[in-house]
Structure 1
Amino acid sequence: MDELLDTTDINAVLFDLDGTLLDTADDFIHVLNAMLAEDNRPVLPSPIIRANVSNGSRAMVTLAYGLTESAPDFHAYRNRFLEYYAQHIEDQQRSSTPSLYTGIPELLTAIEAHNLPWGIVTNKPRDLAEPILEQLQLSRRSSVLVCPDDVRRSKPDPESLWLACEQLDCEASRCIYIGDHKRDIDAGRSAGMTTIAALYGFIPDTDNPLDWEADYNAEQPDNILEWLDDNRWRLPHQ
């Protein structure tokens, strides 16, 4: 009984998308190198692209073309990348299925078995996120999807996480947020949530996720389920 006095109920579990729920690195690699080949530029090694996936389309343009956002051609290249990416997702729907990380299906099933809602808060645009979730048959299972389209300030600002809580009618202090980037952990901490760093995601060698000060670091999705079980599906008081 004393142990339970030092814990609180979990209201919801929220996830980042790329690098946390989904391993979408191959999609980014395919699209970016297709653009480079079309422009008669050398393609980039897969590990270099993979390490930058969590930074999104802007990082892809900078990585491939050496352009900053202030460059005149930057947004044209970014829009082209997004168009190619959207077409790739459409083609993929006809030929293959995106990859959930090993252990994620079991984790989602366990969350649902405990009658807890789970959802996604991502910096991926909605028109790119929704088709993937539909293909994976996660749209109806996920209780909330918040994208940059829905807020004025995306992560690392906590606005998108607070919006998810509002839509779920739950308290931020009783939510868990899981992500593979420092901005995810910063957003979760600023929102007042318990944070879990997904160390299995797209983390560059130059980053040290231990410096992010997440409440828990998960080497694999299985570790998240183990942590929840060890804590009896309750949150330790911070």
Structure 2
Amino acid sequence: MQQTRFPQAVLFDLDGTLVDSAPDFIAVINRMRADRGRGAMELADLRPVVSKGARAMLGAGFPGVPASERDAWVQEFLDLYERELGLHGKPFEGVEAMLAALEAHGTAWGIVTNKPEYLARKLMPLLSWDSRCQVLIGGDTLPVRKPDPLPLLHAAQAIGVDASECVYVGDDERDIIAARAAGMPSVVALWGYRLREDDPFAWQGDVLIHEPAELCDAAAWPGVRA
């Protein structure tokens, strides 16, 4: 009889995968817009680009401003975000149950994000994850970031598992590209952020999951059939 088991380790993207951080980011964008004499932006208009990073969010918030000018605002954006960190956003529904299920079955878990490491680390105690997350790699921890596979490989090594025994979960195509290049099974988090034109079915992830709670079942995970 075929058995199923949880992976030895799981690595997660952060924004749009574990945490619905869009409410924090819209507070930042609207503060910047107000400071520049502009009205508020709707959360629904920012949400699709959150996983693309600060420059993409600034592009959505200030579409008429040249990219070269917006780039000079990135540090302001990050400084304001540090003040809003964790005040509005929270884990997606079902994430805590999923993490508890992994822990109950002895699965180590960690985070590989393109968010600056200092911001990701400041968020951990706000979520009570600082003693549970076994490795955290930020976008500036190493010389490269996703979609390069090195951050994923580095995180797996830090946990002490082979990449083939570690699953990566993310909501953006670069997450799946990085996992594939690392030889790591992948889960496409369909509950996350993506542009209307994005086609997650074309990313060639190993499995596509609609809700975090589905991952409380060992059979939902890729590459874990014994």
Same fold (TM over 0.5): yes
Match among 14, 26, 31 for residue 17 of structure 1:
14
Note if contact 2:24-2:88 (Cα within 8 Å) is conserved in structure 1.
Answer: no
Secondary structure, counterpart of 1:150 in structure 2: coil
For residues 33 and 22 of structure 1, what CA distance do their matches in structure 2 show?
Answer: 20
Say whether 1:84 aligns with 2:80: yes
Q: Which residue of 2 aligns with 1:184?
A: 175
Look up the equivalent residue of 2:8 and give its one-letter code. Answer: N
Residue of structure 1 aligned with 2:145, choices 143, 154, 157: 154
CA deviation profile, 1:125-170 (whole Å, cap 9, x unmatched)? 1121112111111011011001122111100110100010111111
Give me the whole-angstrom Cα distance separating, in 2, the residues matched to 1:114 and 1:53. Answer: 32
- Report if aligned partners of 1:14, 1:177 keep a CA contact under 8 Å in 2: yes
Gaps of 5+ in 1: none
Cα root mean square deviation, aligned: 2.1
**Partner secondary structure for residue 140 of structure 2:** helix
Kept in 1: contact 2:214–2:220 (CA 8 A): no
Candidates 26, 34, 49, aligned match of 1:52: 49
SS at match of 1:205: coil
Displacement of 1:97 in angstroms is: 6.7
Summarize the alignment of residues 91-170 of structure 1 with structure 2, pairs less than 5 Å apart: 96=87, 98-170=89-161
What is the one-letter code of the residue matched to 1:77? W
One-letter amino acid matched to 1:19 = G
Alpha-carbon distance in 2 for matches of 1:151, 1:77: 23
Q: Paired residue for 2:216?
A: 225
Provide closer, same or farther for how the CA distance between residues 8 and 219 of structure 1 changes in structure 2, counting only shifts above 3 A.
Answer: closer
Q: Distance in 2 between matches of 1:43 and 1:230?
A: 40
Q: CA, structure 1 residues 9+24, in 2 after alignment: closer, same or farther (shift >3 Å)?
A: closer
How many residue pairs were aligned? 225
TM-score by length of 2: 0.92
Q: Within 1, Cα distance between the matches of 2:113 and 2:52?
A: 11
Contact 1:98/1:136, CA 8 A, preserved across alignment: no
Partner residue of 1:38 out of 35, 40, 45: 35
Aligned partner letter, 1:193: M
Give the match for residue 212 of structure 1: 203
One-letter amino acid matched to 2:117: R
Higher relative helix content: 1
C-alpha distance in structure 1 between counterparts of 2:182 and 2:66, whole Å: 30
CA distance in 1: counterparts of 2:104 and 2:6, whole angstroms = 15
Does the CA-based 8 Å contact 1:57-1:78 persist in structure 2?
Answer: yes
Distance 1:169 1:68 in 2: 45
How far apart are 1:12 and its partner, in Å?
0.4
Q: 1:28 aligns with which of 13, 25, 28?
A: 25
Aligned-residue sequence identity (percent) comes to 36
Structure 2 unaligned spans of 5+: none
CA–CA distance in 2 between the matches of 1:9 and 1:76?
A: 44
Letter in 1 for 2:18: L
CA contact (8 A) 1:31 1:81 kept: yes
